[in-house]
């Protein structure tokens, strides 16, 4: 959610910090701030609103200093305001702190500090840290931060600077991601490696309970107890170009257009024509181990969870293994039964989703095995799982997920194919699916090129306050994701229902002013779906359809046809026009498309 950027080196810190803040804007935030140390003093500027508001408030001449930290905040303690924005400082203005997470015992610490005469200037839990650190000015900054954190309960990823000792940044992690970037005689700290693109050559990820002292010429890592930790670095993957909109008005539209290439990367090296199967080397399961799997449980949140619903359907269809998806956010609260012959699959674009990470840890604590399906290389979930599938979709900057959802669905198709071929899926069936997967990139490109054909559907939704999405079987997963996209980015109220459930209650909501978007593939369930449409039309409900060429439906107000594909892969294609539809509706309503209100790309708190 919140974003951290830090720099120590020989260059002016401010331009690098501001560039980093723009890179982490996609995470979602409501205020931004920066602190730079120079000649024993801190220059702190922070503003409610977007990074552009902060930029406008900075001195025209910039800020001198080669050490600094910056932050984008997503409010937890205290409403969005200039005062509550990070960085937070101690009473003397010597210590500056930026922090992601929640200090659970902040009220207790705050009361104790107030009794000692400390005057607080914000409502945040983070300000407590600045005063705790400043209480030990005789200690090294590293030791002062360690002492402060030993008094703290909760989750954090943080960076701290001391104006009197600007040669170092101290960073620490317990639940919130922290990445150290290594450059040429300069170092970086960030909550997300995307902030370091184009500057750092390699990165190191802190683990929970670790604290680092970061200097221009290197870094050292300790546990909070003081034990030194050997920390390996790895190459920073990705390109800064992924954070440039190019000729597109919004990152969301750019990322929809990037899906053909993203899917090609997800497929690259994973299609085995010789044996008519897929090969996902990262899952590290031998054929005999795959045969021992009796159940698959998929865990994810939001769009990742809906991709998991489709994944479960694909695994059951192709591998004939019972499979189920459920929200990771609820999984650990019901004391789940962990089975040795169940394969657990955790899904996350960022690889930092707190709820999903907690679910993984619950599974591992009880002896289960977990695979990760993750887009961000080196992320916490990828490292916690230890094995799995990288999507290689490239950076996804818009808060709403598009290309990552599509690539996740493709990854599940590959996993289902590999599991199926170990079991009873024939070579002929495998070859059929390989051909279908290979055709997806060009088919997606064709859908995106026909965006203008969605105009009648867009016009109907723009003048509506509510919309329903329905689908059967795998089409229900597409309906859920389509409804989520529309409400996330356009703020229209949208609900998804299994088409078969419409008559069990939701039919009471059908009215002439509320359109129903139907996921309508030309498959064995077509007749049943047409009957459901008739039920909607009988009650004067407008119907919009995402379907296949040649499907005739009486009374449909507007329709968009996707290319025919292998039936199992049709849901992947049917989701693409729903992404474009949500984008167009949001455009028509003048929404903040890349950063919808109240949402964050990477949810790192409960």
pLDDT tens column, 73-129? 877 878 889 999 999 999 999 999 999 888 999 999 999 999 999 999 999 999 999
- 446: which 2 tokens? 């064709």
What are the pLDDT digits (tens) for 202-259?
Answer: 999 998 899 999 999 999 999 998 899 988 888 887 655 567 788 899 999 999 999 9
pLDDT of residue 239: 59
pLDDT of residue 479: 97
Which of 2, 301, 385, 407 is the catalytic position?
2
- The CA R_g of the chain, rounded to the nearest whole Å, is 25
Q: Which residue positions in the chain have pLDDT lower than 70?
A: 1, 27, 238-242, 600-606
pLDDT of residue 399: 87
- Does 301 qualify as catalytic in the annotation? no
Specify the 3-state DSSP secondary structure of 442.
Answer: helix
C-alpha span between 461 and 362 (Å, rounded): 42
The residue among 378, 358, 443 whose CA lies nearest residue 370 is 358
Which of 48, 254, 297, 601 is the catalytic position?
601
- Domains of the chain as residue ranges with CATH: 3-243 (3.60.20.10), 253-447 (3.40.50.10490), 450-591 (3.40.50.10490)
- Does 601 qualify as catalytic in the annotation? yes
State the Cα angle at 203 between 197 and 204, rounded to 5°: 150
pTM of the model: 0.83
Specify the 3-state DSSP secondary structure of 99.
Answer: strand
pLDDT of residue 44: 95
- 463: which 2 tokens? 């003048």
């Amino acid at each position: 959610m919140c974003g951290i950027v830090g720099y120590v080196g020989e260059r002016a810190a401010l331009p690098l910090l501001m560039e980093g803040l723009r890179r982490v804007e996609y995470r979602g935030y409501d205020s931004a701030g920066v602190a730079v140390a120079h000649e024993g003093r801190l220059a702190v500027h922070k503003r409610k609103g977007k990074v552009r508001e902060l930029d406008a408030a900075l001195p025209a001449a910039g800020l001198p200093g080669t050490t600094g930290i910056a932050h984008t905040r997503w409010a937890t303690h205290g409403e969005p305001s200039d005062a509550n924005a990070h960085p937070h400082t101690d009473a003397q203005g010597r210590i500056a702190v930026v922090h992601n997470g929640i200090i659970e015992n902040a009220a207790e610490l705050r009361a104790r500090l107030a009794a000692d005469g400390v005057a607080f200037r914000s409502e945040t839990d983070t300000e407590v840290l600045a005063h705790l650190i400043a209480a030990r000015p005789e200690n090294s900054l590293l030791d002062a931060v360690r002492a402060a954190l030993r008094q703290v309960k909760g989750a954090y990823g943080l960076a701290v600077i001391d104006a009197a000792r600007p040669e170092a940044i101290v960073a620490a992690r317990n639940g919130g991601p922290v990445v150290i970037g290594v450059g040429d005689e300069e170092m970086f700290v960030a909550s997300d490696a995307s902030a370091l693109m184009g500057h750092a050559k390699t990165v190191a990820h802190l683990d929970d309970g670790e604290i680092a002292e970061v200097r221009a010429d290197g870094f050292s890592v300790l546990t909070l107890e003081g034990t030194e930790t050997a920390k390996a670095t790895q190459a920073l993957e990705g390109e800064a170009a992924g954070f440039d909109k190019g000729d597109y008005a919004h990152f969301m539209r750019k990322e929809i257009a990037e899906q053909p290439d993203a899917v090609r990367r997800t497929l690259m090296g994973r299609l085995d024509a010789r044996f008519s199967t897929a090969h996902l080397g990262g899952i590290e399961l031998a054929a005999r181990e795959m045969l021992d799997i009796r159940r698959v449980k998929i865990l994810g949140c939001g769009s990742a969870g809906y991709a998991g619903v489709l994944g479960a359907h694909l695994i059951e269809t192709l591998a004939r293994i019972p499979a189920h998806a459920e929200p990771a956010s609820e999984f650990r609260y019901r004391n789940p039964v962990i089975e040795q012959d169940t394969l657990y699959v955790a899904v996350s674009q960022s690889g930092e989703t707190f709820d999903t990470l907690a679910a993984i840890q619950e599974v591992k604590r009880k002896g289960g095995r977990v695979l990760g399906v993750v887009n961000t290389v080196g992320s916490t979930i990828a490292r916690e799982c230890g094995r799995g599938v990288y999507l290689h979709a490239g950076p996804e900057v818009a808060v709403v997920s598009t290309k990552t959802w599509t690539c996740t669905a493709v990854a599940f198709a590959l996993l289902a194919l590999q599991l199926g071929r170990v079991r009873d899926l024939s070579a002929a069936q495998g070859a059929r699916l390989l051909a279908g997967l290979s055709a997806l990139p060009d088919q997606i490109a064709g859908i995106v090129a026909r965006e203008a054909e969605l105009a009648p559907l867009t016009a109907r939704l723009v003048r509506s306050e509510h919309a329903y999405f329905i689908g059967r079987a795998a089409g229900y997963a597409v309906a859920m994701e389509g409804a989520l996209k529309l409400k996330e980015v356009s703020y229209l109220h949208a609900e998804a229902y299994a088409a078969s459930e419409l008559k069990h209650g939701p039919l009471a909501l059908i009215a002439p002013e509320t359109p129903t978007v139907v996921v309508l593939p030309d498959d064995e369930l077509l007749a049943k779906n047409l009957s459901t449409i008739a039920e909607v039309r009988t009650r004067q409900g407008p119907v919009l359809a995402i379907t296949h060429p040649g499907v005739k439906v009486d009374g449909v107000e507007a329709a968009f046809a996707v290319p025919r594909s292998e039936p199992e892969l049709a849901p992947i294609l049917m989701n693409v026009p729903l992404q474009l539809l949500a984008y167009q509706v949001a455009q028509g309503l003048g929404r903040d498309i890349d950063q919808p209100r109240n949402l964050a790309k990477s949810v790192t708190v409960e």
